[in-house]
């Protein structure tokens, strides 16, 4: 089994218990000998919009102090990530 992972996942990003320090270390320690880790790549705005409502995206941006303007990603990036294997 492949697990998509990035070192950024170790960050504590909220006060919610699901983001508690040590959560990822415990999971990685448990599964590391049984899976193949593959590096995660950042999702583009269009990818995020497929699974989250606009109000949620805006609230996350607002909480992080980022601009609320929509920044579309180049179509070539979308096609590459969702391209079917040959």
Whether pTM > 0.85 for this model: the answer is: no
* Strands annotated E in the chain: 2-5, 36-39
Domain ranges of the chain: 1-40, 41-86
Give pLDDT tens digits for 34-83. 999 999 998 999 999 999 999 998 888 888 775 444 444 444 444 444 44
11: left (phi over 0), alpha (psi -120 to 50) or beta: beta
The arithmetic mean of pLDDT across residues 11-31, rounded, is 87
pLDDT at 53: 93
């Amino acid at each position: 089994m492949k697990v998509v992972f990035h070192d950024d996942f170790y960050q504590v990003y909220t006060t919610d218990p699901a983001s508690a320090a040590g959560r990822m270390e415990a999971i990685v320690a448990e599964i590391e000998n049984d899976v193949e880790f593959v590096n995660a790549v950042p999702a583009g705005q269009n990818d995020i919009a497929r699974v989250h409502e606009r109000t949620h995206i805006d609230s996350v941006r607002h909480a992080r102090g980022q601009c609320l303007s929509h920044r579309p990603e180049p179509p070539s990036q979308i096609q590459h990530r969702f391209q079917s294997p040959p």
